[in-house]
Amino acid sequence: MADRRALDLDSLAISDRFRLFNFTTGREDPVAFLWVLRAMDRLREVHRVQVDAGEVQAALNELARLHDEVPTFDGKLRDRLDALYEDGVVHRFDDASRAGNLVRYRNRQSVYQFSELGYWAYTSVEGLLAARIQDANLSRLVFSDILEDLKALAAANRAGEAEQVYRRLSRLDSVMEDMGRRSAHFHVTLGEIIRSTDASPETFLRYKNALLTHMSEFMAELDRYLPRLATAVRDVEASGLASLLDRAAAADERPFMDRDERLEDWRRRWSVLRAWFAPQGSQESRAGELRNATRIAVSGVIALLRQISEAQRGGVNRATQLRHLAEWVWNAPDEGAAHALMGAAFNLRTARHLGAAHEDTEQISPRATWWDAPGVEVSVTLFRSGKAPTPGVPTPVRGNSGARAALRREQAAERAAEREAAGHLTELGAHGRVLDESETRILLKLMTRALEGRTVVAGRLKRGSGADDAVMIRLVPCDTGSAVRTAQGLLHLPGFRVELAGRTQGTGSNTGGAR
């Protein structure tokens, strides 16, 4: 579900949400910003939502008594909070009621509060820092609970119990989300363990029996429950899928979604749950794919175990080879012999080719190899020294009043043409005709300014405006969108329409805007 919602965001909303993570890399000392957010989260846990800098400092002092890694801010805590406000992680408000005396009242009394998306960004960073390899597992005990919930869901739907339907569906959705996250985490962690066994085979050998037993028991439990789960899913659908989703949407208490949105959301959730256990035509269910992936992983673990056992039995593995090579390099008679030995061991050779761009790059396919591509001329300077030839010191520019006067005339003519084109845009509008080059250029400049001054609400571009010395443009949201015909082709404007007006006309719009 989260992936589907993320795909609905446009590039502007994505860039705004990426800005929420600016405190991790884009700011100096990101660890200090993390501790500030931890202090604010500590206050949030005791229901203190809006806090000032003094309260955050007090929370940091409490954390410092428990953790030695808490940094000191030396009076720069307010600057860190303001930086988080600029990134959108927190909101800032001015609260005059916190002023205890006249001096504090005259000073800025700012309070800070987590923004909704900012809190999501903070928790995602904390979740990444808290990830541990020991948490990876495949839960085999969950299948019996899923089967019980599916049977209870079918019974509740037949009995018309809307609240029970909602509770069972919500529980199934949470269990399936947790199951997908666990399976992805486990297989990624397993791949990391297999990749790193060359450096630490002892760690792998220590847990090999528990790992193989864990995966084997999971596959056995999945094979036992998968047919019954598929039957239970079909039984739920036979009880009336439309009424099931209607009852779930009716009992759903999310206030920021209307009934149609809740109904569509539950329809998507059920389709995901069904895809886990019920195959569709020739396509295997996701649980079956997980079983196949786990079986392949078991084979890989057994093959790796055999490889490690043979290496230990023979006494030669990659670590032993590298130690012997390091000893040979150390005992080499001179530096040249050491470089030659390392080059032979790792197949390192000096580059013996030069590269240059062809005069007509369109004639050469970017997929052509070095062997198949035609040769190019290489200068002697580049061949001998490896440096591209330069034209030398540029000659001084001589004054030429005639050329400057010609340039002024050209610039004046261009400005006159732009003013004329701006007048045509204001008078005739941008729609219902074909814009010439000058009008198109002015329209694109105005749209660039309007997009820079955009207003983004709930991840969507709502409104924007821009102007130059003659024309004003407004980008107004429109469900059908609009289009502008230019000499170069058709310019599509999805999601909004364009309104143009002259600067001398105040805020009124002309008939040139898209309707």
Mind listing the pLDDT tens digit for each residue in 37-55? Answer: 999 998 888 888 888 888 8
What is the pLDDT at residue 511?
34
Q: Cα separations (Å) of 509 from 194, 206, 432, 473? A: 66, 76, 16, 9
Q: Report helix, strand and coil shares of the chain as percent, to nearest 5.
A: 60, 10, 30
The pair phi, psi for residue 485, each rounded to 5°, is -90, 130
pTM of the model: 0.47
What pLDDT, in 10s, does the model give residues 487-509? 888 888 887 788 888 765 444 33
Give me the residue label for tokens 């029996």.
Answer: 209
Write out residues in the chain with pLDDT < 70, as ranges: 1-5, 95-109, 133-137, 193-207, 307-318, 349-356, 386, 397, 399, 454-462, 503-515
Closest CA to 232 of 152, 161, 296, 292: 152
DSSP letters for 123-144: HHHHHHHH--GGG----STHHH
What is the pLDDT at residue 458?
58
DSSP letters for 399-453: P-HHHHHHHHHHHHHHHHHHHHHHHHHHHH-SSSSEE-HHHHHHHHHHHHHHHHT
What is the pLDDT at residue 349?
62
Rounded Cα gap, residues 154 and 168, in angstroms: 10
Rounded Cα gap, residues 349 and 361, in angstroms: 29
Task: Report the share of the chain in percent with pLDDT over 90.
Answer: 3
Q: Which helix (H) or strand (E) holds 174?
A: helix 162-195
Contact partners, residue 443, CB within 8 Å, separation at least 6: 425, 430, 435, 473, 484, 498
Contact partners, residue 153, CB within 8 Å, separation at least 6: 165, 168, 169, 172, 236, 244
What is the pLDDT at residue 98?
54
Tokens of 121: 């960004």
Closest CA to 275 of 262, 289, 295, 292: 289
Tokens of 513: 């805007």
By three-state DSSP, how is residue 457 classified? strand
By three-state DSSP, how is residue 68 classified? coil
Q: How many CA within 13 A on the CB side of residue 18?
A: 8
By three-state DSSP, how is residue 251 classified? helix
Q: Cα separations (Å) of 470 from 17, 434, 505, 510? A: 35, 21, 10, 14
DSSP letters for 363-408: GS-TT--TTTSPP----HHHHHHS------SPPPPPP-HHHHHHHH
Rounded Cα gap, residues 367 and 310, in angstroms: 42
